[in-house]
Structure 1
């Protein structure tokens, strides 16, 4: 195999591989001889089929296999010798493909962008601030009150008392559109909390001020974007019978409430809440520290970036942000989205940091264990209730999906590694100060 360089511009590389016809023919003969002992053909004993007949019968297919093996082997040898690491799959084109015939040399053009040489970073020169927030009594008390509200019960109001927002009304109802009852518009003994916005807009408002044993007609209009197309935008009437009006009653802050949430007593529940709050604060503080770490790395290291990676990342960013701004579009049947300079700048940062973290992690032999991957898959599967099995099968069969789950785990482990080598100063701050620091992340 002859190799000739055709391009060497920045990170772009181009090579022409020439496979002599004699070498290709020898490879075909070798494959046929290897297969000959197992070949059976009418009129011949097993293993006794003449080479000429084998070549006529299987030659074209074997020729294609030999050609592909030779090209793959040549590219593999070239990459090992040159030390190049292609940023994406190399583009391989046969120059004389259309007019090629047996007996001709095979000429192949290979182009790719190589990953850049990434400079060393003095991680000990990084200075990081680790924010810590203790769980204050006021925050624990607020969380306790919220738990009490979530565990609230309802008790009957005095007979004849009118309902208020926040009350629970127990109702029988039947809905009509254009004078006809519709499927799914009927229920009995339905407990509806007024102000919960669990029914279509306007429904609950018309039940404020009702009393038990009353019958009320509720006039509403289904939203234009309602999930059932045959009801969307339609006027509707609901005949409601009020069975009971109940007042909310918050749970008492006592040991019984604690037991409902898995604690032995109220003190145990307070401790659990404090630990949960501090874990939430720690997660937010880590995000702040990680941003600082990445900002410092981005400022400290500059190197050439493969244009194809930057372009692909910019396109992905533009597409993602467009869908966030247009949530009503759930498919990809829309006009092409052209990345802006801002998208390209963000893409350059992401690609640079991704390559840098990958380099640091590789040199430090950072790996993602099978157990960590299993936990990641289980967490992701919770987003698809009832379809967990299909999700597992999809992940098993899809290398790209596996990489999407593995990448953030690997990145976090590399970030932890860098933080261990950097200068870290712990600083105790208030919850409000931490919230401001987190809000600032979105402004950058």
Structure 2
């Protein structure tokens, strides 16, 4: 029988014990698991009797696996019996072991108590960026630039917007520095690809010219050696190319879209921009609604929950960058951060995410939100489509009535409910906004197919002292005793 004691900062201690008989049974299981390791003179390897192993090596040689054998199932049972919402890895403190059996304490962090304030009818500013003929024309201009061609220029100097092919080499205090040399490098002037001042000083020079430019590296430059440093670059221009935009006519429209006339293209761009503006405004309104409700809520967020969310965010970032062919470590090296600094920078947003999710969960329970069978089926169907899988296959992988799919549905319904109940107000004047910190984008947690499928298993994973356990059912860790549419979607506000 577990004894539960609540501690500060959402921590709980679970005191448990096993009799000597139970402990001996666990020792014998540990012996059977490890008997091939034991060697005693006169016996073949793996054939040494239990009593002789204990006599020769001492009982302690069997403790590690015996403790796992007892603690793992007892911990899982205690968590379920006491309905503990564990959010951290359990820490094991063995109080007594040996002739009197096993007495131990597990310390875990649980979800904190959430005291909701006002969450219905909160006032939230709503604004939607304006779609005009100017925003449509700007998108068409971007389309022209994406479809531009480059034409060799020989009768004039380089201008802003030209693409030049150059050799360059950088020097600090007269000494060439690492990474400061390039040959036949294509650089678009005005692109701000290089440090401030570099591209501007190429303008006005002609093909074949060799010249020196002076620059100052930014204080926040990724290389410690070059931060804030004065430097010079020797530059030679090999080629100058001008950007030639296509004529804006019906032929251009036919080439870049499914439409026949410019008017049709403009109408489609305007429609897509309006849809994107409405979507962005809705998302911003939802995020701001959650922020206001979270401010009305009292909750002490455990560090363990923030730590876990930071890890999730770091993994998300690494995954996004990997899809672009960039390793996170390489990116961090470029911006002059190590992994600890990067994770520390994620903590403010992680705290917001955690608090929002706690608020959403508390509201959903108060409103008795449920996921219907129809909603569940639609969610599975949407996931199958998103992952290009057969619906039956994904349903099988997720298991029947996957709790994490239901949780995702309930979370989304709760967010939609809160936004629907919020009162839209006029945004504050720009001068008032400047005095406030901008609301950071947050969202209800998402469920991926693999994550949901993995978590749907009833049996918890067995954990040794080397394994990292993150779920409430993990084994404790031992311690010592103490298209145009796409273009429109990218339209900036």
How big is the alpha-carbon RMSD for the aligned residues of Structure 1 and Structure 2?
A: 5.8
Give a deviation string over 1:388-424, Cα, whole Å, max 9, x none. Answer: xxxxxxxxxxxxxxxxxxx9x9879724543247646
Deviation of the 1:95 alpha carbon: 1.7
In the alignment of these two chains, the number of paired residues is: 378
Q: Which residue of 2 aligns with 1:23?
A: 22
- Report the counterpart of residue 256 of structure 2 in structure 1: 261
Q: Aligned partners of 1:33, 1:172: CA distance in 2, in Å?
A: 72
Rg bigger for which structure?
A: 1
Decide whether aligned partners of structure 1 residues 174 and 70 sit closer, same or farther in structure 2, where only a CA change above 3 A counts: closer
1:65 is aligned to 65
Instruction: Tell me the residue number matched to 1:442.
Output: 438
Query: How much has 1:85 moved relative to structure 2?
Result: 2.0
- TM superposition score normalised by structure 1: 0.60
- Residues 1:270 and 2:266 aligned together: yes
C-alpha distance in 1 between matches for 2:56 and 2:170: 74
Kept in 2: contact 1:132–1:428 (CA 8 A): no
Q: In the alignment, what sits opposite 1:380?
A: none
1:248-297 Cα offsets, whole Å, 9 max, x none, are 54322223333443433334533442344234313421232113321453
Deviates further, 107-116 or 136-145: 107-116
Instruction: Say whether 1:331 aligns with 2:338.
Output: yes
Q: Using the alignment, how far apart are the partners of 2:84 and 2:274 within structure 1?
A: 47
Verify: 1:353 aligned to 2:352, yes or no.
Answer: no
With normalisation by structure 2, the TM-score equals 0.55
The alignment partner of 1:218 has SS state of: strand
Shift of 1:141: 1.7
Q: Which residue of 2 aligns with 1:142?
A: 138
Q: Please give the alpha-carbon distance, in whole angstroms, between the structure 2 residues aligned to 1:261 and 1:126.
A: 46
Q: Which runs of 5+ in 1 are unaligned?
A: 320-326, 377-406
State the partner residue of 2:183: 186
In 1, the alpha carbon distance for the partners of 2:252 and 2:436 equals 38
Higher relative contact order (CA 8 A, sep 6+): 2
Counterpart position of 2:370 = 364
C-alpha contact (below 8 Å) 2:201/2:213 kept by paired residues: no
Distance in 2 separating the partners of 1:126 and 1:56: 71
Q: Note if contact 2:289-2:419 (Cα within 8 Å) is conserved in structure 1.
A: no
Gaps of 5+ in 2: 315-333, 388-403, 441-493
- Aligned with 1:111 (options 107, 114, 123): 107
Matched, 1:294 2:290: yes
Separation (CA, whole Å) in 1 of partners of 2:113 and 2:170:
70
Give the distance between the partners of 2:436 and 2:285, measured in 1 at CA: 12
- Is the CA contact (8 Å cut-off) linking 2:20 and 2:100 kept in structure 1? yes
1:425 deviates by 8.3
C-alpha separation between the residues in 2 aligned to 1:238 and 1:274? 45
- Aligned partners of 2:194 and 2:353: how far apart in 1? 44
Asked if the contact 2:159/2:189 (under 8 Å) is kept, the reply is: yes
1:387 is matched with none
Within 5 A, what are the aligned runs for 1:208-223?
Answer: 208-210=203-205, 215-221=208-214
